[in-house]
Amino acid sequence: MELIDPYNITYKGIYAVADRKNEHVEIMEQSSCYGGSAWALYHYSKSPLVIRSRAVGDMMRYLVRTGHIPLDLKSSFAAAGIESVIVNGNEIEITYSGLGGGGVGATTCRAYAEGVLRCRLSESGGGKKASGTIVVPRRERVLVGIDNTDSKEVGATWTLAHNIASAVDAQERKYISHTLVQLYPVPDKTQNCVGTVLEFACMNGAKKDLLYAIKEGLEKYSVSDETGMVAFSGFDAGGLMEYSRLCRSKMISKELTLKTCKEFEVEICIDGKGIIGALAALPWFSRNDESVML
C-alpha cells in the first residue's frame, strides 16, 4: 500500500452563490468523505456567521452572512468553523479555522477542491490551530423548472432533466441539485404528475448559454408536445411558494401561470402546458425530502 497524501481528503468541489446585495452567501461543499463533512457540518453550524446549514446528499450547504467574526474555538465542542466571508467583485473569499483534525479540514482538504481559484494556508495537523482562506468565483443561482417531457408510452421527466443537466455541467455553470416535486394529480397527467427543478451556480454571463443548451436538449429529446421550461435567476425563490402550494393542491389555469411568471420575472423558455408544473417546482430546489410529498 502506498498513500500519496495520507492526511488529506480533498473536497470534490466548493461553490458559492451570493444575493444581489452581497449580504448573504450560500457556500456549497461537495464532500469526498461524508463522515468528515458531517463532523464539520455540526461544528460549523455554531459559527456566528452561519444562519442555516444542512446536508443534501453529498453536498454540505451553509447559508451565511457576509463579514468577519473571529471564532472562539474549543476542542471537541466548537472545534472548527467559518470565520470570514467577503465578496470582492467577482470573487468570494472564505476563511475557515479549526483545531487539530478540524484544522486539516479548514486548510488542505478545502484548498485544492474543484472551483477554488487560489488559497492561503497555515500549517495544520496534530494539536495545532490552523486557518485557511480560499477564493472562489462569485456565482448566482439559476433555477430551471421542467415538466411534461414524456408520454404514456415512453420517458420520465426527472431522468431526462438530470441527464441534460449533467451534459451541460461546466465550471462556469455548475450543476448543483436536482429535485422532484409532486404536483396535484390532474386528469391529463402521464402517470405520477411530478415536475423537476434543476439548480445551477453560474458565473457572470453563463446563464444565457446554459438556458439555450437545456432548451436545445429538451427540444431534441422530449416526446411531448406540451413540454414546459421556465427559468428564475435569484438567491431565493420563496416568493413563488404560494403559487406552488396552490398548484400542488388543485388544478390551476395556464393563465394564472403566465401572470405569476410575469409578476416574479420568471423566464418562459418553452411554453407548453407543462409550464404550470415547471413553475410550481422552482421554490422547492434542494428540498428533496419535502417536495416529494403532497
Grid cell listed for 156: 420520465
Higher per-residue pLDDT: 100 or 83: 83
Whole-number pLDDT of residue 121? 82
Higher per-residue pLDDT: 243 or 101: 243
Calpha distance 144→293 (Å, rounded):
20
Calpha distance 254→214 (Å, rounded):
22
For the stretch 216-236, pLDDT in tens is: 999 999 998 989 999 999 999
Calpha distance 215→150 (Å, rounded):
15
Cα-based distances in Å from 9 to 34, 258, 272: 11, 48, 46
pLDDT, mean over the chain: 92
Residue 167 has pLDDT above 60, yes or no: yes
Calpha distance 173→199 (Å, rounded):
10
Q: Which domains does the chain have, with CATH numbers?
A: 13-137 (no CATH), 140-291 (3.30.70.2200)
Q: Which residue matches cell numbers 494556508? A: 121
Q: In sequence order, which residues have a C-beta less than 8 Å from that of residue 242 and are 6 or more positions away?
A: none
For the stretch 31-64, pLDDT in tens is: 999 999 999 999 999 999 999 999 999 999 999 9
10 Å Cβ neighbour count for 59?
A: 18
* Residues 24-32, mean pLDDT to the nearest whole number: 97
Geometric angle at alpha carbon 24, from 18 and 26, rounded to 5°: 60
| Whole-structure pTM value | 0.94
Residue 176 has pLDDT above 60, yes or no: yes
Q: Which residue matches cell numbers 396552490? A: 246
